[in-house]
Amino acid sequence: MIIGLLNQKGGVGKTTLSVNLAASLAHTGARVLLLDVDPQGSALDWAAAREGKPLFPVVGLPRASVHKEIDQIGKDYDYIIIDGPPRVTDLARSAIMASDLILIPVQPSPYDIWAADEVVKLIEEAGIYKENLKSAFVVNRKIANTAIGRDVKEALSSYSVPVFTSSITQRVIFAEAAAQGKSVHEIDPQSSAALEIDAVKDELMGFIK
């Protein structure tokens, strides 16, 4: 199963969600590969900050041939998480064509909701060639107890893409974990952050069945 995380708008917490989803899957015993196709290499930076044995391998592949190479690269893994580029490019198109499911992280902001239009159009274009391609929004970096945090799912309903009921709240533990090259599960497996990541992972598993 290949899961691409894409949004053409930067700063939505795409890498944070990618590494922590990969960690949540790895904790189930699954063989997981994180593919960093973002030229900025944020997931690679996360891996480089880690001391000790990695939870899963992180491979950089920032080129527009991802969809052609992924079968060979990912043949030994149960799940491949693709941390996609922050702009609509040939690289983004390749990442979409390589994926079975596209997860679109969106912050609860009008700008993010408007900006989602471009990646939705890309996914719709790819659907002509990949009939079984699935996609969903996940609200990320939500500010707790704010009106816009509650209203964002309704705002996203204007798109044909479904919105996950589970969401991720912005929390300091994500930054603390990233600085150490760790997942939030390793910092505190019972933290609200870890439980939210697991909830997204569980919804993801149900979505792709």
* CATH, residue 24: 3.40.50.300
The alpha helices in 28-144, defined as continuous H runs, are 42-48, 66-73, 90-98, 110-126
Q: What pLDDT sits at residue 148?
A: 66
Phi, psi of 109 (to 5 degrees): -140, 140
- Is the pTM above the cut of 0.85? yes
pLDDT digits (tens, 9 = 90+) for 12-21: 789 999 999 9
**What range defines the domain where residue 13 resides?**
2-207
Tokens 């996950």 found at: 164
Average pLDDT over every residue of 41-69: 94
DSSP H or E stretch at residue 84: none
When divided into structural domains, the chain yields a total of: 1
pLDDT digits (tens, 9 = 90+) for 59-100: 999 989 999 999 999 889 999 999 998 876 899 999 999 999
